[in-house]
């Protein structure tokens, strides 16, 4: 069967900054190919785990090749080859289980790579020929992982034209990794999931907790909201933990559902003023109370605002023109009211009038 590869991207892996570089290149290719937002997010997580695995367990350096793959039936996928200079993995099946590690880490990487790959091979027979073509001159690269992620043949691709999204986020000024995360996932033409996540503390461990929480949402975005909260809680056990605000907007019924654990501040601005969305105490991944669901009307002209505790409370609702573009308001809040000692994230979703 004839195989075509194009849009080939080849990148070195040498230090932690390469995680972000490789992720951005892969996301750009996924967007170019037409992957939807959810699947593009999965590609981003997959790339991050592969590159991080090289840095932690693969000798500290390697190379990644990302390309558009098309088989004889003209079915398209993103193909990823990630090779390193390490000593290999003795027990592949054991290493693929979450929680296994040969180093002092949480051991979540290879399990995540397996879950997000439609096809996964460790040192496949075809690796010699592939390395000759795309890894020439890198004889120290001993071991390769090949991952393939197919582009769904039939899936709803697009955004909800009735909703305008704005988001702004930054990490702690002394850190490189953000312990906060946010997600907007259009499940279908009418349902939109809006999430703000704050991993406890800041730095690598907070980032791991928030990214793993984000991953768990991407895997099952269509679960009922209370079930999704429990799924997140179970998925991030063993991490530092996180607090989460989760909203599902339905523009067909003009309803909003909300559930929150921890100190994510959330409210809806309406023509009658502010309606606060209540979160309950706890830390997801550690001690979560039974999720409570709240439902309210969400009609054209309304705006949802969610933010982490990296944003101070020293601002007033009336200081914001909620008719302005959501991105402008999100950036205004981040730039003017973020704390200097924490990660900070703002997510604003407005329902077009």
What range does the domain containing 28 cover? 4-150
Domain match, 224 and 249 both: yes
- Is 195 among the domain residues? yes
Q: What is the pLDDT of residues 185-198, one digit of tens each?
A: 888 889 999 999 99
Phi, psi of 148 (to 5 degrees): -130, 130
Domain match, 62 and 194 both: no
CA geometry: angle 269, 166, 293, nearest 5 deg: 50
- Is 158 among the domain residues? no
- Asked if the model's pLDDT at residue 2 lies above 50, the reply is yes
Give the pLDDT confidence score for residue 106 in this predicted structure: 33
Domain match, 325 and 295 both: yes
DSSP class of residue 338 equals B
What mean pLDDT do residues 132-142 have?
67
CA distance 192 to 257: 11
- Is 307 among the domain residues? yes
Q: Give the CATH number for residue 190.
A: 3.60.40.10
Domain match, 204 and 180 both: yes
CA distance 291 to 280: 8
Domain match, 61 and 188 both: no
Domain match, 122 and 174 both: no
Give the pLDDT confidence score for residue 298 in this predicted structure: 98
Q: Work out how many domains the chain is built from and give that number.
A: 2
Give the pLDDT confidence score for residue 121 in this predicted structure: 87
CA distance 187 to 13: 34
Give the pLDDT confidence score for residue 309 in this predicted structure: 95
Q: Give the CATH number for residue 26.
A: 3.30.565.10
From 100, 121, 150, the end of a domain falls on: 150
- Report the predicted TM-score, pTM, of the whole model to 2 decimal places: 0.64
Domain match, 135 and 199 both: no
Q: 31-40, 48-57, 85-94, 242-251: lowest mean pLDDT where? A: 85-94
């Amino acid at each position: 069967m004839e195989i075509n590869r194009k849009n080939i991207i080849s990148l070195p892996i040498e230090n932690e900054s390469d995680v972000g570089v490789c992720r951005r290149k892969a996301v750009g290719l996924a967007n170019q190919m037409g992957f939807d937002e959810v699947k593009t997010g999965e590609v981003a997580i997959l790339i991050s785990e592969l590159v991080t695995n090289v840095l932690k367990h693969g000798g500290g350096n390697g190379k990644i090749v990302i390309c558009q793959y098309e088989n004889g039936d003209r079915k398209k996928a993103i193909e990823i080859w990630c090779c390193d200079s390490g000593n290999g993995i003795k027990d592949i099946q054991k290493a693929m289980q979450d929680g296994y590690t040969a180093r002092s880490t949480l051991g979540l990487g290879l399990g995540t790579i397996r879950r997000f790959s439609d096809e996964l091979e460790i040192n496949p027979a075809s690796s010699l020929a592939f390395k000759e073509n795309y890894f020439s001159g890198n004889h120290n690269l001993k071991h390769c992982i090949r991952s393939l992620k197919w582009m769904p043949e039939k899936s709803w691709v697009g955004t909800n034209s009735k909703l305008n999204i704005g988001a702004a986020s930054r990490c702690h000024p002394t850190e490189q990794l953000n312990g906060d995360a946010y997600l907007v996932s259009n499940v279908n033409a009418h349902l939109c999931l809006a999430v703000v996540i704050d991993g406890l503390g800041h730095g690598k461990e907070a980032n791991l907790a928030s990214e793993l929480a984000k991953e768990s949402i991407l895997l099952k975005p269509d679960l009922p909201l209370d079930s999704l909260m429990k799924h997140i809680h179970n998925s991030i056990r063993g991490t530092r933990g996180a607090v989460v605000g989760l909203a599902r907007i339905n523009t067909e019924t003009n309803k909003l559902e909300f559930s929150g654990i921890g100190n994510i501040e959330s409210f809806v601005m309406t023509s009658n003023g502010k309606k606060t969305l209540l979160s309950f105490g706890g830390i997801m991944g550690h001690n979560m109370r039974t999720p409570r669901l709240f439902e309210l009307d969400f009609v054209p002209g309304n705006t949802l605002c969610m933010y982490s505790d990296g944003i101070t409370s020293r601002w007033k609702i009336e200081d914001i023109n909620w008719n302005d573009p959501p991105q402008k308001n999100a950036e205004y809040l981040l730039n003017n009211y973020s704390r200097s000692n924490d990660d900070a994230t703002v997510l604003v979703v407005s329902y077009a009038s």
